[in-house]
Structures are given as structure tokens and as C-alpha cells.
Amino acid sequence: MGPTLTFLGTGGSFGVPLIGCRCGSCTSVDPRDQRLRASVLLQWDQTRILIDAGPDFRQQALRSGIMGLEEVWLTHGHADHTNGIDDLRVFCFGGRVLPVRGSATTLQEATTRFRYAFRSEPDPSGVSHPLLLPKPLPESFEVSGRKVIPLPVHHGPFSVTGFRIGELVYLTDVSEIPASTFDLMEGTRILILSALREEPHPTHLTFDQAIAIGQKIGAEQVWFTHFAHGLTHSQMEARFPPSIRPAYDGLVVEFT
């Protein structure tokens, strides 16, 4: 098998079902309507990369059988993408230091909120904590022979980093893609893009906005993710054009 992307979570910040809600998607018995917070695992050769460590990370790691990680990349500092950072400590046993990449702003937020986790030496008290090494994001970098291009996008007033690995692009928590980033996405064959819901939102693309971007990019495969509750998976399949499909937790996409 070539390189793969596994969707560990495809839910918005609340996850689906939403606590206390009895709507159609929240009471659905379709397993694809159980959406943990948005995160993906990339794997090629012996390299495993986690994009975002949200509050459901422990459950996602157990469910997908993640045995180790070589790197963590953060799209931004919001709680639904970083509140699982503490659970990364299992991958730091024996004094192993795990690199965490993100934009300067994202690393600033993460290292402020999880100051105890960003250190390279175990605490002398013996208390358990992650050993994380913040690594800045250059314009492009290489991991295990593959070129990675960070993609800056807007998320309302916040900045988010998407990632391009070869022909694959992962973009979550998007409200707008600047023209310079569209240029970096030229030739994308597999696009993963966040599409929150039908109604307008100040920091997220609506379904219609995301569909317009998906069609503009013209990728062979377009998968939407980071969904709010409201529509069920099968309702979304009917709602989106045939060229655009809703992702679901556990879905594995192969790329080259």
C-alpha cells in the first residue's frame, strides 16, 4: 500500500452527536454519523504523522491502533485541535522527544497553554508529561523523502495552516483561501476541505462555499470534513454534487 491518510475524526468542534441534541444526525444509527473531533493520520514507509491532537485523540489512537508517531503537525491552536496534547506523552516513553510543527502563532499558543508538555527532559519529580519539541514551519520541508508545503488559510480572524503532501491537500477550519495559497495548490488531485454546515458562520465555510472551492480546484477526489450536527451522512451525500463526498471517521484514502 502506498501513502495513506486516515480520517481519525470528521466532526466540528462539538463533535457529532452534539451533547443533549436529539436531531436527525445526533440520533442517527449510521456509524458514519459518529464524528469525533477533526484529525487525520498520515502514513508512508515507516513514518506516522498526526495532524492535530484534539480532545478525542486518545479514543482515536486506540480505535485506529496507532502504535507510535514520528511527528505531530498542528493546523492551529483551537481547543478542538490541541486539547489532546497531553495524551501524546505515551509516545514519549523512555525520554523520546516528539517534534510538533506549526506556524509561529500556533506554536506560541500551544506552548503557552501546554507549557509543561514542551520540554526535552523528564520532570525530576517523576510526574508524567509529554516531551515535545516545537519546530517552526519553513516554506517547505521534507519528511522521509516527501516534500511538504504548508498552506496558510484564513479561519475568520485566525490563521490556519493546511498541508500539501504531493498531490494531497488537507485543509480544515477554513473561511477563505488567499490567492497565493491557491497558487500553491495547483495540481491537487485529492482535496480534503472543511465544510461546517448549511448556515453562514463567521469562521467556517458553508456547504455552498466549500462546494464552490472544491469545484474551482478541480481535484479528482474532494472530501469534506469538520461537520457540525444537522445533516446525516446520507443526507450530505445527496446534498453535495457527485464529485464531492463527505468523509467519515475511519475512512482511509490512498495518495501518491
Q: Which residues contact Zn ion by CB under 5 A? A: 13, 18, 21, 23, 26, 78, 80, 173, 229
Is the Cβ of residue 4 or residue 13 nearer to Zn ion in the bound state? 13
Q: Which is nearer to Zn ion, 156 or 250 (CB)?
A: 156
Q: Residue 145: CA atoms inside 13 Å, Cβ hemisphere, count?
A: 7
Q: Measured from the CB of residue 33, what is the shortest distance to Zn ion in angstroms?
A: 10
CA–CA separation, 59 vs 256, rounded Å?
Answer: 28
Strands (E), 54-196: 71-73, 98-101, 132-135, 141-143, 146-155, 158-165, 168-171, 190-194
**Of 166, 167, 171, nearest to 73 (Cα)?**
171
Alpha carbon distance 77, 66 (integer Å): 23
In the complex with Zn ion, which residue's Cβ is closer, 7 or 44? 7
CB of 247 to Zn ion, least distance (A): 14
Minimum CB distance to Zn ion smaller for 13 or for 64? 13
In the complex, least distance from residue 78 CB atom to Zn ion, rounded to whole angstroms? 4
Q: How far apart are CA 226 and CA 15, in angstroms?
A: 9
A 10 A CB-CB count for 159 gives: 16
Q: Minimal distance in Å, beta carbon 137 to Zn ion? A: 17
CB of 127 to Zn ion, least distance (A): 30
- Which residue's CB is nearer to Zn ion, number 76 or number 164? 76
Q: In what order do the strands lie in the sheet with 244-246?
A: 141-143, 146-155, 158-165, 168-171, 190-194, 221-225, 244-246
As measured in angstroms, the least distance from the Cβ of 49 to Zn ion is 18
Given the complex with Zn ion, which of 23 and 97 has the nearer CB atom? 23
